[in-house]
Amino acid sequence: MNFDTILSINKLVAGYGETEILHKISISVNKNEIVSIIGPNGAGKSTILKAILGTLNIKSGEIFLKKTKINGVKPSDVVKKGVGYVPQTDNVFVSLSVHENLEMGAWTIENNLNDKFEELYNLFPDLKDKKKQLAGQLSGGQRQMLAMAKALILDAKVLLLDEPTAGLSPKYRLEIFDTIQRINKSGLPILMVEQNAKQALQISHRGYVLVDGSNRYTGTGAELSSDPEVARMFLGSRG
Amino acid sequence: MWESFWFEFINFYFIPGLVLGCIYALGAIGITLTFGILRFANFAHGEIMMTSSYLTWEFVLVASSFGLILHPIIGAIPASICSIFLALIVDRFFYKPFRNSPTIMIVIASFGMMLIIRSLVQVIWGPNQITFVKGIAKPNQFIKDFTSNFDMMILIPNKHISILLGTIIIMLVFNYLLSSTKIGKGMRAVSDNPNLAEVSGINVENIVKATWVVGGFCAAAAGVFLALDTQFIESTMGFRMLLPMFAAAILGGIGRPFGAVAGGLIIGLAEELSAYPWLGNGPVISPGYKSGVAFSIMVLMLIFRPSGLFRGKVF
Amino acid sequence: MEIFLGYFLYAMSLLTVGGIYALLALGLNVQWGFAGLFNAGVAGFAAIGAYTYALLTTAESQFHFGGLELPLVVGDILAMIFAGIVATIIGLICIRLRADYLAIATIGIAEIIKLILKNETNITNGPRGINKIPRTWEHFTEERFYTNFPMNLFLNQKGWEAFFASIPKWWWQPFFAITIILIVIITYFFLEKLRVSPWGRMMTAIRENEKAAAAAGKNVTKRRIEAFILGAVIMGLAGAFLGQHLRLIEPTQTFDPSKMTFLVWVMLIAGGSGNNKGAILGAFLIWFVWSSSELVTNGVIEILATMFDSIDISILKNRAGFIRMLFIGLLLQLILQRYPKGILPEKRPAISGKY
Amino acid sequence: MSKIALEVQNLEKHYGGLQAVRGISFKVLEGQIFGLIGPNGAGKTTTFNMIAGSEIPTSGKIFLYSNDITGVPTHKLYDLGLLRTFQLSQEYKKMTVLENLMVAGSHQVGENIFNSWFSSKKVNLREKEILEKAFDSLEFLGLSKLKSDLAGNLSGGQKKLLEIGRTMMTDAKLVLLDEPGAGVNPTLMLKIIEMIRRLNTERGYTFCIIEHDMDLIADLCQKVVVLSEGQVLTEGPMSKVKNDERVIQAYFGGGVDT
Amino acid sequence: YSDVKIGNPMARTGPIPELVKPMSAAVDLAVEHVNDQGGLFSDGQKYIAVKVDSACDPVAAVDAVTKLVNVEVVTGIVGPVCSGATIAQAESVSIPAGVVTLSVSASSPAISEMENGTDLVFRTAASDAYQGIALAELAMSKGIKDIAVSYANDDYNAAIAAVFSKAFTSMGGKITGNEAHEPNKASYRSEVNTLGSGSNNLALFAYYGSSGITIMRNALETGAFENFIGADGMLAQEVIDQLGAENLGNVTFTTSASDSSTDAFKSWKKHADAANVPASDPFVPNSYDAAFLMALAIEKAGSADRSKISAALREVANGPGEKILPGEWKKAKEIIASGGSIDYVGAAGPQDFDENGDVAGLFSKNTVVDGKWKPVVIK
Ligand SMILES: Nc1ncnc2c1ncn2[C@@H]1O[C@H](COP(=O)(O)OP(=O)(O)OP(=O)(O)O)[C@@H](O)[C@H]1O
Ligand SMILES: Nc1ncnc2c1ncn2[C@@H]1O[C@H](COP(=O)(O)OP(=O)(O)OP(=O)(O)O)[C@@H](O)[C@H]1O
Ligand SMILES: [Mg+2]
Ligand SMILES: [Mg+2]
C-alpha cells in the first residue's frame, strides 16, 4: 500500500439487498489528490460513496481510511473519523434554516465556529442573505451550495462529493470547481463523482471511469480527457 | 352576580380545566416528540404513563413496608427512571426493527405494545382499581383565606398546586434542554432527515434514545400527576388519556413541544368549559358528548390549519 | 357425531366472522393498500353499515327509529350506500390530510360517530343498542317473513312451520357462511380486476407521488375520495353482515376501535397490504388465532396447573383474558418482525405477459 | 406567422416578504424550442410551477393558446396538452419503471372504475397502445433492461431520464423541462438533445427548457429568456444573449466556453 | 365422558373486570360445592364450568359462546354479565342451538321480551325496571323532593336512570337536571358543578371503576352535593377505601340483593366467608345461585341433554318441593335420586322464575357503617 494513500478501496463487492452493483472495484485517493469518478448513469458511482460511508452492506473487499479499516463502521463514526460527504440528492435538512444546516454540518466539532461560518458565507454569498430561510425553500442550486458548505465545515481527512455541480449555473460551477481546487490545495484530498466530466477531469489529478459496476479506465485527468474512446463514450464529445 | 360568576367560573371550571390541561400537556410532549422525530403516532404512550403510576405506587408501598412513608412524588423518581428504561427497552426490541420500514408498521407495533404492556400490568397487579391517595382533597386553607381578603376566593387543593408547579418546573427544564443544548438541535435534524443526519455524523440512535428519555420522563410525570388528581390508578387510565393527548399534540403542531403544552391546556379547558352553563341553566352540549369536544377541536384544526397553532410538521 | 357437528358449526362461525373481517380488510386494502389513505376509522364505517341495515330491516320497535321492515337485500344495499355517503362527506373534508393526520382525524370522526349513536337515543336506542336484527337465511324461519311475499307463494303458514320442523335447526348456518364467503370472493374478483387495471396503477401512482401524478393528469383529490368511498362501501356491507351475525349491535363495545379497527389493520398488514389475497388470508388467519387462542390459553393454564401444583392457578384463571391479550400482542410483534411486508407481499401486476 | 403557444404577462410570486418572481412577461411561439436561463434562485422553477398550476401566482396572467390558464389545477392542464418535468425527479418509488411510464399515458379509459370492470376490451386495446409507447420510450432512454425494477431503486441520473421518458408518453402540445440535463451523463445528453429535436420536428411539440448546460441551450433553443432576481434581464437568440455584458456578469461569470 | 360441562362466559376483560372477579369466584364456589358433595348423577360426574371471556362485547360474547356450544359442547350457559352481550349471544347462538342461558346480572328489561316461545333465557338478577322504582321510593322516603341525575352512558346505567327518573317524577319529585356523562374521563368537575347548581341531591348511576368514584370525589371536593343515592354499579368496598368512610355519611346505594335475615342468605354467607368471597357484593350471590341452579337442573334432568334443561330448571327453582339452601347439594341430590321434588331458595332471593324467566326483585339499601357497606333489605 502506498504510504501516502488516504483512502483506498480494495476489490469491493457491494450492492443493495441481494443485487450486486459493484464488482471488485478498486479505487484509491492519495494525499493532496483530487480524484474523479465518471461513468454512465447507473454505473454505481454513488454506490461507491455510500459504501465508504457505511450505509450499505459490503459483501467482500476492504475499505481503508489511512491505515484503519472502515468497512462495517457506522456512518456517524465514519464521519467522525474524518470523512466528509455530500450526497447526490436529499442533501440538506429541509425544515431547518440555512444556518442551522451549517451547524448540523459541524455536529462532530465542539469548538466555536463563528469564523468558519463567516468564511463559508463569504464563499457562498447567496446563502448569507438567506441565513434564516428554511432550506426547503431554497432553489435547486442554492440547496446544492448549502450542501457543499455544510460538508466543508468539517476538518475532514477526505471529502466525498456526489455530483457537487449538478444544477448549478455556469458561474457557480466554475466557482465550485475553483473552491474544490482551493480546498484541495490546503491539503484536503477529494473524491468526487461528476457528470460534468470534462470540467471535472480538467481539475482532477486522476480519474476512474466506471461502467456497470466495474473499473473500465483509469488514468490521470489529462490522459482520460484526451483518450478518444473515453471522450466519445463518456464525455459527450461529438463525432 | 359578577362576583359569584367569577367565583364559580374560576374555581369550578377554570382551575380544573387548567389541571387537566397540564396532565394532557405533559403527555402530549412525549407524543409530539415521537411523532416529530420518529415519525409515528405512538399508541403505547398512554401505557407508559399508566405503568409509571403503578410503579410509583409500588415503590411507596415497598418503602412503607420498611416503615418509610414517602410522598408519591418522591416515589415517582425511581418510577420515572424505570419508565424511561421501559421506553428504551420497548424501542430497542419492538420499534427499532422497523426504523426503515413504512410508518404504518411501527404504528401497528406500538398498538401491539399497548396491548402487551397493559396486559402485563393486568396480569401482575390485576385489573382492579388501586387507591393511590386516600380521602378527599380539601382546598388549601391558606390560599382560601388569603384570597378571600380580596373578595376573590380561590379554592385549590394542594394536589392541584403541586401538579401546576410540577408542570411549570418540568416545562422550564425542558425548554432549556431543547433550546440550549445540542440534543435539541440533533432531534430536529433527525426528525427532518434521519439518513442525512447519520451521514452528517449525528449518532441517530443516541438521539432516538434521548427522545425516549425525555418522552418517557414526561409520560411518567403525566401518569403520576393524573394519579395524584384522580387519586386512584387502574390499567386503562393511560389509554383513556391517549386520544385527547393526540388532539393536544396536533393542536399545538407536531414536533413542537410548546405547542403540545398550549394544545394540552386548550383541550383541557375546552373539555371542562363545555359543561359550563353558558346559556341558561344546563350545559350547552350534553356531557355525553364531552370527549367529542376534544375530537372536534382536533378535526377542525386538522382541516383548517393542519400545521397546528405553532406551525409544526406536515408530512 | 354430535362432536363432529359441533366442530362443523364452529368452523361455519369462523368462516362467517372471518369472512366479515375479510370484507373489512379488503375495504381497508382499497384505501390503504391501493391509495395510501390511512383510515383509522374502520369501526365507524362498519357501525354505519350495521346501524343502517338494522334500522331499516328490523320490525317496528318503541325503542328506536325505523321498523321499516325493508327486504334484507335492500338493507344491505342501503347500508353500502349510506356508508358511501358518509365517506363522501368525510372525504371532502379530510382527504387532503396526509398519512398519520388522516389516521388521527378518522379516529376522531369514528369516535364522534360512536358518540352520536350513543347519545341520539330516540333514533338508535342509545347505549342499549338494537336487537332482533334479521339474519339472512335464518330470517325465513321468522313468522313475519314466511307469511309474506314471496315465501307465501310456495307454502302456507302451516306448511312452512312443518317444513322448518322437519329440517335440522342449524340448516341456515352453512348457507349464511357460504353467502358471506361468496360475497368475499365476488368482492375479491372486482378488486383484483381493479388492482391490475389502469385504475389500480393510477391509484398506486397517486399513493407514491401525488405531485407527479397530478402532472400526469390525475385528479388527485377526486381519485382519493373515490378510493375512500369504495373502501367505505365495502366496510358498510361488512358492517351490515356483522349486525346480522350478532343480531344485537350497540355502540360502545361492538365497534370499539381498539378492538375492531386495530384487528382489521393487523389483518391487512400481516396478510400483506396492497395484496387482495393477503388481506383475505390475513383476516381468516388472525381471526382464527384470535378466536381459538381462548381455548388454547385455557388449556395451557390447565397444563401449567397440573405441572406445578404449588402455583395458585386461580389467579391465572381469573387473568386468563389478559394472558391471552399478552399472547396475541407478542404474536403480532412476531409476525410483524418476521414478515414485515406481510405474508403475501404486494406484487406489481405482471404487464408484458398480459396484454 | 405561427401561433403563440404560451404567453406570460406580468407574472409575480411572493413568498411572505420574499419576491421570488417580480413581473415576468414572455411569449413562446408554437413549434418553438424556448430556453429559460438564469442564475440559481432567479425564479425559473417558480415560473414553471406557476405555469404548470402547482403554485398560484400572486398576480399576472398566463395564457395557453389564448386560453387564460392562470390558477388552473395541474391535472386539467395535462388535458389541455401541457406537460412538465421536475427539477428534483419525482418518480413512483414502489412501481416498476415500465409502470412509471404507463401512468403518464393519455386517454386512459381504464381509469374509470366501471370501464375496468365491465369494458375490458376497450381497456385492453388502449393498454396495448400505451404499452407499446412505453417500450419505445424505454428503448430510447436505454432503460429497457430496468423495465421491471422499482423506480425507487434507480440511480439519480436514471430517474432524470425517466422524468423525460414521461413526456414521450403523451401527445403534449407544450412541454416544460426543468433541467433535463442535470446529472445526466454527457453522452446520453446528446441523445436527449436529439430526442427533443425529433419530438419538436416530427410531432410538433413546443418546448420550454430550463437548463444550466449551455451546450444544450445553444444547440436547441431558438430563443432564450434570461431571468435574474425574478425579472427578465434580456431575451433573444443565444448568440446575442451570450455576449450581453449583464448576462455574463450575473450568469456565466466569464466561463462560457461555447 | 365422566364430566358435565357448563359454559361460564363473563366479562373478565372489558369495562368492568373488577365487578366480575368476585362473581366469577362465586361460580367457582358453587362448582366446588357440587363436586365436593358427590358430583352429578349417580356416578358422581364432575361439574365443570368452562370459563371464557365475553368482555361485555357482543362480538366477543358471540364468539365465546359459539365455542362453548359447539366445541366444548356445554349443557347450559351461566352468564354473561352485561345485557348487550347476553342478548347477542342468546339470539345469535344459544337460542338457535337450543341451549339454556342463565344470566347472572343482565338486568335490561329487553331480556324479558326477547325469546318467543322457546323458554331458553333465564336470569337470577331482577330487571332494573324494579330497582329504579325501588330507588325512587327510597329517595321519597328520605324526604328528597328534588334531585339531579347523572348517569354513565352505557347500557346498564342509562336504562336504570331512565326508570328512576320516570318513577321519581310520577311520585311527585322534581328532576332538576338529567345528564348522561361519558365514562372514563379524568375529571367531571364541571358536570358536577353544573348539575349541582340545581339541587343538593345527586342520583348517580355509574360503575364505580369507570366514572363513579371520580364523580363522587369531584362532588365531595367542591361540595356541590350533600346527599347521594345510586345503584349497584357503585357498591364496592373500593369506594369506601378510596373516598374515606368519613366523607360518605350521606350516601345510600341500592343493590339487587338479598335479605340477610333469611336462612338461605345466612347459609350462603357462611360458605362465602369461608371461601373468602364477598357475600354481599353486587350480583355475587346471584352468580352463585345461577351456577348452583344449573347443576340442580342437570341433576334433575338426569343427563347432560341440553333439551331437558329448560323444563328442569323451572322445576328445581320454582318448586313445589323440599327447600334447598345454598351449599346443600348433597341433600338435593338425595331427594332427586329418590324421586322427590325440590325448590331452591337462593342466596339472592327465592329465585322463582316467571313466564319470562325473570325473578322478582329484592333490594337492599346500603349505607356506610364502620367503614363497610351495611345492607338493609327494603323490598
Ligand atoms: N436503494 C437501491 N436499491 C436497489 N438498487 C439500487 C438502489 N440505489 C441504486 N440502485 C441501483 O444501483 C445501480 C447503481 O446506482 P448508483 O446510484 O450508484 O448509480 P450512479 O453511477 O451514481 O448513477 P448516476 O450518475 O445516474 O447518479 C443502478 O442500476 C440502480 O438502479
Ligand atoms: N416555497 C418557497 N418559499 C419561500 N421561498 C421560496 C420558495 N420556493 C422558492 N423560493 C425562493 O424563490 C427564489 C427562486 O427560486 P426558484 O426555485 O424559482 O429558482 P431557480 O431559478 O429555479 O433556481 P435554480 O436554478 O437554482 O433551480 C429562491 O430565492 C428561493 O429561495
Ligand atoms: Mg449517482
Ligand atoms: Mg430551479
**pLDDT by 10-residue block (mean), chain E, 379 residues:** 85 81 90 90 88 88 92 89 90 89 86 76 84 89 90 87 91 89 85 86 88 90 88 85 88 79 86 87 89 92 87 87 88 89 86 84 84 81
Instruction: Burial-class residue A19 by CB neighbours within 10 Å (0-12, 13-18, 19+).
Output: exposed
Residue type, B221: A
What residue numbers bound the domain in which B102 lies? 4-304
Return d(Cα D36, Cα D27) in angstroms, integer: 12
Residue B190 confidence (pLDDT) above 80: yes
Strand partners, C106: none
Predicted local confidence at residue D16, as pLDDT: 81
Regarding predicted confidence, which is higher, E78 or A153?
E78
- Please state the length of chain C: 355
Q: How many domains does chain B divide into?
A: 1
Q: How many CB atoms lie within 10 A of CB C157?
A: 12
Return d(Cα C177, Cα C167) in angstroms, integer: 18
Which residue CA neighbors atom 5 of ligand 1 most closely? D153
Return d(Cα E129, Cα E111) in angstroms, integer: 11
Q: Work out the average pLDDT over A99-116.
A: 81
Predicted local confidence at residue C223, as pLDDT: 94
Residue C354 confidence (pLDDT) above 50: no
Could you tell me the CA-to-CA distances from D44 to D24, D87, D157 in Å, in that order?
Answer: 10, 11, 21
- Cell reading at B167: 408542570
Task: Choose from A95, A103, A113 for mutation: most chain B CBs within 10 A.
Answer: A95
User: CA E187, E189, E194 angle in degrees (round to 5)?
Assistant: 140
What's the CA dihedral at E328, E330, E336, E341 to 10 degrees? Answer: -20
Instruction: Name chain C contacts of D83, Cβ cutoff 8 Å.
Output: 215
Q: Work out the average pLDDT over C275-302.
A: 87
- C238 band by pLDDT with thresholds 50, 70 and 90: very high
Which residue CA neighbors atom 24 of ligand 2 most closely? D40
* HSE of D110, CA atoms in CB hemisphere, 13 A: 27
Which residue CA neighbors atom 8 of ligand 1 most closely? D153
Percent of chain B exceeding pLDDT 70 equals: 95
Could you tell me the CA-to-CA distances from D83 to D49, D170, E2, E94, E265 in Å, in that order?
Answer: 11, 9, 80, 65, 86
A-chain residue closest to B206, CA distance: A76
CB–CB of D123/D109 below 8 Å? yes
User: Is residue B308 helix, strand or coil?
Assistant: coil
A107 in reach of chain D (CB within 8 A): no
Using CB atoms, which chains have 3+ pairs under 8 A with D? A, C
The reply to whether residue E186 touches residue B241, judged by beta carbons under 8 angstroms, is: yes
Average pLDDT, chain A: 86
The reply to whether residue D95 touches residue C204, judged by beta carbons under 8 angstroms, is: yes
Highest-scoring range by mean pLDDT, C203-207, C230-234, D172-176, E34-38: C230-234
Instruction: Burial-class residue C13 by CB neighbours within 10 Å (0-12, 13-18, 19+).
Output: buried
| pLDDT per position as a tens digit, E336-353 | 888 888 889 888 888 888
Which residue CA neighbors atom 10 of ligand 1 most closely? D153
Residue B315 confidence (pLDDT) above 50: no
**D198 CA: distance to closest CA in chain A (Å):** 18
Point out the ligand nearest to the CA of residue A25: 1
Point out the ligand nearest to the CA of residue D44: 2
What residue numbers bound the domain in which A155 lies? 5-235
The reply to whether residue A236 touches residue D189, judged by beta carbons under 8 angstroms, is: yes
User: Given the C-alpha cell 455574463, which residue does it identify?
Assistant: D248
Going from the Cα of D15 to the center of ligand 2, the distance in angstroms, rounded, reads 10
Return d(Cα E64, Cα E82) in angstroms, integer: 14
Verify A-C touch: 3 or more CB pairs within 8 A. no
**CA of A210, closest atom in ligand 1:** 21
Predicted local confidence at residue C240, as pLDDT: 96
Predicted local confidence at residue E115, as pLDDT: 65
**B189 CA: distance to closest CA in chain A (Å):** 7
The reply to whether residue E91 touches residue C132, judged by beta carbons under 8 angstroms, is: yes
The reply to whether residue B188 touches residue A55, judged by beta carbons under 8 angstroms, is: no
State the Rg of chain C over Cα: 22
Going from the Cα of D85 to the center of ligand 1, the distance in angstroms, rounded, reads 21
Could you tell me the CA-to-CA distances from E188 to B270, B288, E193, E200 in Å, in that order?
Answer: 13, 11, 9, 17
Of E32, E40, E98, E45, the C-alpha closest to E300 is E40
Return d(Cα C140, Cα C154) in angstroms, integer: 13
Predicted local confidence at residue A176, as pLDDT: 82
Going from the Cα of A173 to the center of ligand 4, the distance in angstroms, rounded, reads 15
In terms of DSSP bridges, do strands A190-193 and A206-211 run parallel, antiparallel, or are they unpaired? unpaired
In terms of DSSP bridges, do strands B232-233 and B130-131 run parallel, antiparallel, or are they unpaired? antiparallel
Predicted local confidence at residue A238, as pLDDT: 53
CB–CB of C283/C25 below 8 Å? yes
State whether the Cα torsion B231-B233-B236-B238 is positive or negative. Answer: positive
- Please state the length of chain D: 258
Residue C141 confidence (pLDDT) above 90: no
> Chain centroid to CA D152: how far?
21
Predicted local confidence at residue C44, as pLDDT: 95
Which residue CA neighbors atom 6 of ligand 1 most closely? D153
Residue C311 confidence (pLDDT) above 70: no
The reply to whether residue A170 touches residue D212, judged by beta carbons under 8 angstroms, is: yes
In this predicted complex, what is the ipTM?
0.88
Q: What is the DSSP string of B233-278?
A: E-TTHHHHHHHHHHHHHHHH-TT-HHHHHHHHHHHHHHHHHTTS-S
Strand partners, A65: A7, A68
Q: Work out the average pLDDT over C43-53.
A: 95
Strand partners, E322: E342
- Cell reading at E378: 327494603
The CATH code of the domain that includes A224 is 3.40.50.300
| pLDDT per position as a tens digit, B226-265 | 999 888 898 888 888 888 898 888 888 877 778 888 889 8
Instruction: Burial-class residue A198 by CB neighbours within 10 Å (0-12, 13-18, 19+).
Output: middle
- B39 band by pLDDT with thresholds 50, 70 and 90: confident
Going from the Cα of C50 to the center of ligand 4, the distance in angstroms, rounded, reads 53
Domain definitions of chain C by residue range: 13-255
Which residue CA neighbors atom 17 of ligand 1 most closely? D155
B178 in reach of chain A (CB within 8 A): no
Size of interface B-C (CB pairs under 8 A): 125
Average pLDDT, chain B: 85
Of E46, E48, E158, E23, the C-alpha closest to E103 is E23
Verify B-C touch: 3 or more CB pairs within 8 A. yes
Binding-site residues, ligand 2, Cβ < 6 A: A 137-142; D 15, 18, 20, 38, 40-46, 87
Predicted local confidence at residue B156, as pLDDT: 85
- E strands, B92-215, in order: 130-131
Query: In the 8-state DSSP scheme, what is residue A137?
Result: G
Q: Work out the average pLDDT over B37-47.
A: 88
Using CB atoms, which chains have 3+ pairs under 8 A with A? B, D
**A1 CA: distance to closest CA in chain B (Å):** 27
| pLDDT per position as a tens digit, A216-226 | 888 888 888 88
Going from the Cα of A45 to the center of ligand 3, the distance in angstroms, rounded, reads 6
Residue type, A87: P
Predicted local confidence at residue B284, as pLDDT: 72
- Cell reading at C128: 342499549
Residue B290 confidence (pLDDT) above 90: no
Predicted local confidence at residue C30, as pLDDT: 96
**CA of D160, closest atom in ligand 1:** 26
Could you tell me the CA-to-CA distances from D156 to A91, A119, B59, D191 in Å, in that order?
Answer: 13, 31, 57, 18
Binding-site residues, ligand 1, Cβ < 6 A: A 16, 19, 21, 39, 41-47, 88, 195; D 153-158, 183
pLDDT mean values, one per 10 residues, chain D (258 residues): 86 88 92 91 92 92 92 91 88 91 87 88 89 88 87 85 86 88 83 86 90 87 91 89 84 60
**E163 CA: distance to closest CA in chain C (Å):** 14
Q: Work out the average pLDDT over C247-271.
A: 88
Among D12, D24, D40, D46, which is best to mutate for testing ligand 2, by the most ligand atoms less than 8 A from CB? D46
Of A103, C134, A93, the C-alpha closest to B313 is A93
Residue B67 confidence (pLDDT) above 70: yes
The reply to whether residue D186 touches residue A234, judged by beta carbons under 8 angstroms, is: yes
**CA of D42, closest atom in ligand 2:** 21
Of D91, D98, D111, the CB nearest to C351: D98
Predicted local confidence at residue E150, as pLDDT: 93
Regarding predicted confidence, which is higher, B272 or C24?
C24
Going from the Cα of C220 to the center of ligand 4, the distance in angstroms, rounded, reads 24
Residues 212-251 of B with CB under 8 A from C: 239, 243, 246-247, 250
Q: How many domains does chain A divide into?
A: 1
Of E76, E67, E70, the C-alpha closest to E48 is E76
Q: Is residue B146 part of a domain?
A: yes
The CATH code of the domain that includes B217 is 1.10.3470
Point out the ligand nearest to the CA of residue D186: 1
Predicted local confidence at residue C190, as pLDDT: 95
Verify B-A touch: 3 or more CB pairs within 8 A. yes
Residues 36-75 of B with CB under 8 A from C: 39-41
Predicted local confidence at residue A115, as pLDDT: 82
The reply to whether residue B115 touches residue C329, judged by beta carbons under 8 angstroms, is: yes
State the Rg of chain D over Cα: 19
Residue type, D245: E
CB–CB of C188/C19 below 8 Å? no
Strand partners, E49: E6
CB–CB of B104/B40 below 8 Å? no
Predicted local confidence at residue C353, as pLDDT: 44
Task: Choose from E86, E153, E178 for mutation: most chain C CBs within 10 A.
Answer: E153
User: Is residue C174 helix, strand or coil?
Assistant: helix
Going from the Cα of C214 to the center of ligand 3, the distance in angstroms, rounded, reads 27
Predicted local confidence at residue C297, as pLDDT: 78
Verify B-E touch: 3 or more CB pairs within 8 A. yes
Predicted local confidence at residue A239, as pLDDT: 40
Among A95, A126, A139, which is best to mutate for testing ligand 2, by the most ligand atoms less than 8 A from CB? A139
Predicted local confidence at residue B2, as pLDDT: 57
**A13 CA: distance to closest CA in chain D (Å):** 18
Instruction: Name chain B contacts of C101, Cβ cutoff 8 Å.
Output: 250, 302, 306, 314-315
User: pTM for this structure?
Assistant: 0.90
